[in-house]
Amino acid sequence: MRLWKLSYTSIAVAAHDAALRQAHEICARSGDRNARIDVSSVLTVHRGRFAQVLEGPEEAVRSVLRRIMGDPRHHSLTVLADGPLLARRYGNWAMAYRDPKAFITDQLDDILQQTADVVRAMKATWH
């Protein structure tokens, strides 16, 4: 099983308060389904946009994305990251809502860690 990460943003159809309620409803309803297929995920809403990270087996992640793409509560979905993953960040959450600041902090931490990993790998090849 290849572990996969996919993140995206999309534009909410509803105004912010309604989109925020929808995000919490999505989290409440999707947790059991995601757990059954071994997908972990976090979702946030900020300034009329949804942002979500999905982690798990590649085919399961792609299956969830197909379902998300058909959801009428948003449009203009843009995939930001789509690739293999060494370890899950959100393994304890089948589906959770994160405050936008915490969500961005998580993403920045991941970018900084990935950068450090690349630098270490490059240094290991230097003689």
Record: fold of 3-99:
Alpha-Beta Plaits (3.30.70)
Contact 106, 89 (CB under 8 A): yes
Tell whether the model's pLDDT for residue 127 goes beyond 70. Answer: no
pTM over 0.95: no
Contact 16, 47 (CB under 8 A): yes
Q: Kindly list the domain boundaries of the chain, sorted by start residue.
A: 3-99
- 7-65 pLDDT, tens digit per residue, is 999 999 999 999 999 999 999 999 999 999 999 999 999 999 999 999 999 999 999 99
Of the listed ranges 23-27, 51-55, 84-88, 117-121, the least confidently predicted one is: 117-121
Residue 121 banded pLDDT, cuts 50, 70, 90: confident
List, in sequence order, every beta strand (DSSP E) within the chain: 3-12, 40-46, 49-57, 74-84, 96-97
Going from the C-alpha of 91 to that of each of 19, 81, 121, 123, the distances in angstroms are 25, 18, 25, 30
